[in-house]
Chain A
């Protein structure tokens, strides 16, 4: 497997969705290609950082406005 193919298959490899034979071939490539190994590691880290980030809290004023709008809308529907 060449570097270009590693990059093409990177997402499926990280998601664990790559065909097992191809995944083994890719892992063998990583053993001797430091550049690809770094790309795989740093892309995995990128995903982790975003996945673990907590969403910013909703502004209180907005939450109150939304709740008022819902309550008014439903009372209007009754």
Chain B
């Protein structure tokens, strides 16, 4: 979860009054999280970097419009999500499935397969960087409609209502996608985390060849 700055209100006021250093302090505090949001939505580094560049410039232009109705971070994430979705749409014009289009509704597809015990602390079987790669690969494999909802709700910990509002979806659509995203990720992680199993990345890569 993102840690907020104690003096955020003062920094925002100073930044709005034209203090460049205060704006840089705010942005630099949140860049890492905004980058994760951009990277998760667009699915590639180059687009995520472009998104962040655009977010920085839009923050400068629209800073005066921030009224403090939400956290400054929420405001920045909204801009980031909009920019990232725009890029995703441009990149996938031919195949783009609109975010608000109904997705699979067949309940049978919800039922989990590969139900196994992971034991206590399955993550301890992996080095930190290896676990991170496993988590990244699993989330990258989700369709954007699912990974975007999962990211905002479970990783950045926005409320259902905030997530719905950011994505232009109904709360019930967010709930339904979140459930599917969680179950899909659980299924993907099962291979690596099931009890008594160590499938390191080197081994799973060589098996895939």
Contacts and interface: CB of A to CB of B under 8 A. Distances in A.
Interface of A: 3-4, 7-8, 10-12, 14, 35, 38-39, 41-43, 45-47, 49-51, 53, 55-58, 62-63, 65-67, 69-71, 73-75, 77-78
Interface residues of B, number: 49
Contacts of A42: 115-116, 118, 186, 189-190, 193
Contacts of A7: 110-112, 183
Given A45-B193, A46-B186, A51-B157, A70 B107 contact: no
A11 B60 contact: no
B182 interface: yes
Contacts of B111: 3-4, 7
B112 A39 contact: yes
B36 A55 contact: yes
A43 B193 CA distance: 12
Interface string B174-198: 0100110011011001100100000
Contact of B122 (A14, A45, A70): A45
Nearest to A70: B56
B195 to A, nearest CB: 10
Contact of A73 (B31, B57, B131, B186): B57
12 contacts: A7-B183, A11-B178, A35-B115, A38-B116, A43-B186, A45-B122, A46-B189, A47-B154, A49-B135, A66-B56, A70-B20, A71-B20
B132 interface: yes
B115 A39 contact: yes
